[in-house]
Amino acid sequence: MNHRRYSTGRLIAISTLLIFNAWATQCTTAVFGQVGFTDEQFEQWVFQQYGNAQTARVRLKESLELYTEDVDLACGLSDAQKQKLRLAGRGDIERFFRAYEVVKKKFQAIRNDQQKANQIFQDISPLQAQMTSGLFDSDSLLRKCLVNTISREQFLKYHKFDEERRRFHHESKVGLIVTMLDQSAPVTTEQRRQLTDLLLRETRHPRKSGQYDYYVMMHQVAKIDKAKFRKILDNIQWQVFSQQLGQMGNIEQWLKQNGLLPDDDDDSDVLLPDEQVAAE
């Protein structure tokens, strides 16, 4: 009995010491700065809202299932076609994780060097962008496989389905540009309508969608003939809007580096596989 009481008391004391130690470490870190980065922190940077690689992998598989169901709903897939698409999608996921492992190894080699560790963010940034925009975009194995897996009739059905989605997203992105201008320099109802029409006509939906959509869209808007805006906006509105457009030249290179803009010699931007079918 005495022995048990002794153990209980010691257990409480040890537990408390452990809690105290953890707390003190946390405070010390907060005051004196980080000492080396952990693998967990690296995963958190790359996978952000998913927290770690394991959860991200589960979410990506769920996302693949949603895409397969979407194509199935649009054009009715056979079991064999579904299998092929799932295989291609799994290939996209593996391709992403291979790229992730390369950056992780690089990180592990320099994790204790504060200065070099900061440079690793240049490698992390494209991975983050991919995670945010999703892996199954027009460059994905899944999309390329889709063209070769389904019949022409199925593809035309799917194309119509997908075109509707693209139009919806494009309208939303145009709405974003107009709303942000409205916030900086308000426009009238009629100006809002004219500006929306102009942007819908003169821009395209970004190839990859994500948190940089505003910049990708503004990059396109900056290339529209100024005179078209001057017919709609007055001096002060144009002063504000042109200032915003002027910032876009500086980020073009960054957008390209992160795969958010096509390269100048990227033919796929001129005519995507699904657009080739539509053109026929």
Rule CB under 8 A: which of 20-79 touch another protein?
20, 23, 26-27, 30-31, 48-50, 59, 62-63, 65-67, 69-70, 73-74
Does position 271 bind another protein by CB under 8 A?
A: no
Does position 204 bind another protein by CB under 8 A?
A: no
Among 43, 92, 139, 213, binds another protein (CB under 8 A): 213
CB closer to another protein out of 150 and 232: 232
Does position 267 bind another protein by CB under 8 A?
A: no
Report in angstroms how near the CB of residue 264 gets to another protein at its nearest.
25
CB closer to another protein out of 106 and 175: 175
Exposed / middle / buried, residue 272 (Cβ in 10 Å: 0-12, 13-18, 19+):
middle
Task: Return d(Cα 39, Cα 36) in angstroms, integer.
Answer: 10
Among 80, 105, 115, 183, binds another protein (CB under 8 A): 183
Are 158 and 150 within 8 A, CB to CB?
Answer: yes
Residues 144-173 that bind another protein (CB under 8 A): 161, 164-165, 168-169, 171-172
Does position 252 bind another protein by CB under 8 A?
A: no
Residues 69-128 that bind another protein (CB under 8 A): 69-70, 73-74
CB closer to another protein out of 66 and 109: 66
Does position 5 bind another protein by CB under 8 A?
A: yes
Does position 132 bind another protein by CB under 8 A?
A: yes
Place of tokens 């190894």: 105
Q: Which window, 110-118, 143-151, 181-189, 257-265, contacts another protein (CB under 8 A)? A: 181-189
Among 98, 235, 279, 280, binds another protein (CB under 8 A): 235
Q: Which window, 15-23, 94-102, 143-151, 250-258, contacts another protein (CB under 8 A)? A: 15-23
Does position 19 bind another protein by CB under 8 A?
A: yes
